[in-house]
Amino acid sequence: PRPLTGKVALVTGGSRGIGEATALRLAADGAAVALTYQSRQDKAGQVVKEIERGGGQAWAVRADSGAAEAVRASVTGTVERFGRLDILVNNAGIGVLGPFEEISLEDVDRVLRTNVRGPFLAAQAAAAHLAEGGRIISIGSCMAERVAFPGGTLYATSKAALTGLTRTLAKELGPRGITANLITPGPIDTDMNPADGESATMQAGLTALGVYGRAWDVAATVAHLAGEGGRYITGASIAVDGGFAA
Ligand code: NDP
């Protein structure tokens, strides 16, 4: 049997980029996968179709990570749909970069709601359903691990919060046999950070490998943590960054 047969995963922001690759990978490993999206219903639908074409089970639900009730409803909806929840992947996130003095209050609120409050509430709602062997995997960023260029105050602040969330969750949920881990990607070729974007050459040059990673590279580490290989890993931060933070 495949490694995640019988498991149910919820991936936030599963319609594009790293979330899409993660949804596809967890499904390929045998999990039934629920995925949230904010606006790209078309893309979410394509991911569901692709999983179903491969013989898997998938469900897409619109849920703005910045909206508390929607986040909670995506968790309960997953449990209603598939009967249980084993793996939460807090992936949905947004990046607002720019000089510190120019970051607006509106941006501060929007980024913290999406990148911090959303994962916090999703983890809280998921914890009510996770059993022994449960997994909470969050996607942070290399920009909260090493500051290589200016302009990242708000984004790094939001992603650094996930380190605190992950480590404390590991301690609190450990006695129930539930793990919590953080993955910190480097520059990954997605709509958010295309490998042919304006600053791509600079970003690639800051890694040890000198190139962008693929969404699939991050998904592979999510799959490892979600599976049996992740059994004794908790409270950890794992860089999938080509050596950006090295
Ligand atoms: P993309 O912008 O390519 O995709 C974002 C995904 O998240 C989409 O599925 C989008 O849904 C969803 N999303 C965005 N905002 C919300 C919201 N408010 N509520 C629900 N879903 C939302 O991003 P990436 O795949 O590049 O990034 C994924 C994660 O990885 C983020 O947390 C990001 O910060 C992090 N990361 C990315 C890096 C990179 O270089 N790409 C590097 C380090 C970390 P929809 O399709 O509906 O818009």
Which CATH number goes with the domain that contains 103? 3.40.50.720
**Ligand 1 atom 27: the closest Cα is on which residue?**
18
72 within some domain: yes
Q: How confident is the model at residue 37 (pLDDT cuts 50, 70, 90)?
A: very high
> Does the Cβ of 17 fall within 6 Å of ligand 1?
yes
**Ligand 1 atom 34: the closest Cα is on which residue?**
93
Over residues 163-212, the pLDDT tens digits come to: 999 999 999 999 999 999 999 999 999 999 999 999 999 999 999 999 99
ipTM above 0.95, yes or no: yes
Structural domains in the chain (count): 1
Of 16, 22, 159, which is best to mutate to test ligand 1, by the most ligand atoms within 8 angstroms of its C-beta? 16
* Cα–Cα distance, 148 to 215 (Å, whole number): 22
Mean pLDDT for 63-67 is 98
> Does the Cβ of 190 fall within 6 Å of ligand 1?
yes
**What was the pLDDT predicted at 18?**
99
**What was the pLDDT predicted at 239?**
98
Q: What is the mean pLDDT of the chain?
A: 98
Give the distance (Å) from ligand 1 centre to CA of residue 186: 14
**What was the pLDDT predicted at 129?**
98
**What was the pLDDT predicted at 72?**
98
Of these residues, 37, 155, 212, 232, which one is catalytic? 155
Q: How confident is the model at residue 125 (pLDDT cuts 50, 70, 90)?
A: very high
Residue 30's domain comprises: 8-237
Counts of helices then strands in the chain (DSSP H, E): 8, 9
* Cα–Cα distance, 185 to 182 (Å, whole number): 10
Over residues 38-55, the pLDDT tens digits come to: 999 999 999 999 999 999
> Does the Cβ of 25 fall within 6 Å of ligand 1?
no
Active-site residue 155, yes or no? Answer: yes
121 within some domain: yes
Residue among 218, 97, 235, 98 nearest 162 (CA): 235
> Which residues have C-beta within 8 Å of that of residue 58, sequence separation ≥ 6?
23, 27, 32, 33, 34, 35, 47, 48, 51, 52
112 within some domain: yes
Spatial contact of 165 and 123, defined as CB atoms under 8 Å apart: yes
99 within some domain: yes
244 within some domain: no
2 within some domain: no
Give the distance (Å) from ligand 1 centre to CA of residue 20: 9
> Does the Cβ of 38 fall within 6 Å of ligand 1?
yes
Please give the model's pTM, rounded to 2 decimal places.
0.99
Spatial contact of 218 and 185, defined as CB atoms under 8 Å apart: yes
69 within some domain: yes
> Does the Cβ of 114 fall within 6 Å of ligand 1?
yes
**What was the pLDDT predicted at 20?**
99
Q: Which atom of ligand 1 is nearest to the CA of 189?
A: 41
Give the distance (Å) from ligand 1 centre to CA of residue 175: 31
91 within some domain: yes
